[in-house]
Every structure is written in C-alpha cells, then in structure tokens.
Structure 1
Amino acid sequence: MTTMSKSPTRKGGRPSKPTDEKRTHVVTIKLTDAEHADLKKRSKAAGVKLAEYVRHGAFRLTIVSRLTEIEKEIARGILNLSSDFNQAMTCFHQLKLRSAANKLAAVVDWMFDILKKLRPNKETDYVCKNP
C-alpha cells in the first residue's frame, strides 16, 4: 500500500488585501426614504455599489465655507451690536429723522443678508465643488 502525501490545500477566492488597504471603520448616517431611494438610484446609474458611491462623493467633493473670514468677523460684530441698532432706530423715529432711519435700515438689511448665510435652508446648507 502506498501512502500519498497530501498537497497543501489552496484557499479559493480573492487574495487578501494588504493591511493598509483594508477598510475597517464604519460610518453611519441617517437618511429619509426619499434620500435613500435617490442615492440608490444614482449609484445604480453610476454602476457602483451604494457604499462606493457615497465614499466617492465624500472624498471627491470639497465643502466650501459659507462665509469668508471677513464676513464671519462682521457677523460677530453685528450680533454684538444688534440691541444698539434697535435703540438707534427707536431714537431716529422719535426724533423724526426719517432719512437717517432709512440709511440705518439699509445697513441692517445688508447685515441680515450676511447673517442669513450662517443658517441657510437645508437645500443649500453646504456648497460643494469638485476639487
């Protein structure tokens, strides 16, 4: 009787990735049904899995600040002076200085335009661009 030596068995499947290429961390986000359906539709149209589609979007887009540094400084100043503006407007109206009140109102409107950038609506919350 002859004994056959066993050859080492090979594992089937794809070879293992190097350690530095393995993805080990999971990030969880919550989506509405509509958002999830939209992402699935987009990933299918792109021909990639949903996770790859989201990963690509996360790393290929750049979030652009809504305010410049100067606008941030102005917004801080506006927030600090808001009660003073209100008192000035009251005085102008009491003294019947309508043109001064109108000029101050225009400045306040301009300042509120800057402040609106601090809290834009959800549809335009962030501005994204390709790097």
Structure 2
Amino acid sequence: MNFTDTEEREIKAKAAKAGISIAELLRISAFKLSIVERLTDFEREAIRELMYQGKNLNDQVRACQANAWPSTKRKAEACLDGILAILSKLKVQNSTLL
C-alpha cells in the first residue's frame, strides 16, 4: 500500500513530533488504538441530556457553596461525580499521539 505525498508528509511529521519511528507510529495506529463504534441517535441524545442535567447540578452546587450548605453541597457533588463518570465511559478515547 502506498501513501500519497500529503499522507507521507503527515505521517513523518507525526512521528517526528512524537519522537518515534514511522514504523512505531504505524504499529501504534494499527494495533494499540481501540476501535469504537459510532454512537446511536439514542446514545447521542442521552449524552446531551446528561450534559444538560450536569450543568443544572453544577449550578446548584455553586448556589450551595455561596450559601454555605455543606451537606447539600456534598450530595450534589457526589451526584455530579456520578454523571461525569458515566460521561467519561461514553467518551470516545483519542490518542494524544495521533
């Protein structure tokens, strides 16, 4: 398989930037990255709703902090942490190398 001139320049630049050989870059690309399925419409909508609810919860936490309601603040923060954990599982993992 041959690369176009543009593809070859891009590959060389990425390898140089990462301080690795072109062969290592291609091995990482081929074998070490996870293939992630695309999200369904339902999953995208669920993520949007979670993000919206997370924003609302974050606003509530700020209000609790401003009014010094520590117990309510802790409960809201725990809930927000749970939402963020769900979102991080749904997030597509990208390599910083590529």
Q: Which structure has greater helix proportion? A: 2
Larger Rg: 1
TM-score by length of 1: 0.40
- TM-score norm. by structure 2 comes to 0.49
